[in-house]
Amino acid sequence: MTPAAEAVRAPYRGGATATPGRSGVGATARAGQTGGMGLDPTRRHVRRTSDYVFVAAALIVAVALVAWAFLG
């Protein structure tokens, strides 16, 4: 492996049992792979009105773009 490729792969070698605090990479075994990012996959999802607004806005934009593409 080239030194450049080794440098790119080095932060990802620790896995779930890496020692925390080494250049900010790695997490404890309890936190798993997502612990360092603050993602909690067991957190209860709460739907907000803004969720529906964002989805509706995305659908309106998508429909507008498709209409623009077909109708010119």
Exposed/middle/buried for 30, CB within 10 Å: 0-12, 13-18, 19+?
Answer: exposed
Query: What would the pLDDT profile of 7-66 be if each residue is shown by its tens digit?
Result: 666 665 555 544 455 554 444 555 566 667 777 888 888 899 999 999 999 999 999 999
What does the DSSP assignment read for the chain?
--HHHHHHHGGGSSGGGPPTTSTT----TTTGGGGGGT--TTSPP---HHHHHHHHHHHHHHHHHHHHHHH-
pLDDT for 43 equals 85
pLDDT for 49 equals 95
Q: What's the whole-model pTM score?
A: 0.44
Side-chain half-sphere CA neighbours of 59 within 13 A:
6
Ranges of each domain in the chain: 3-71
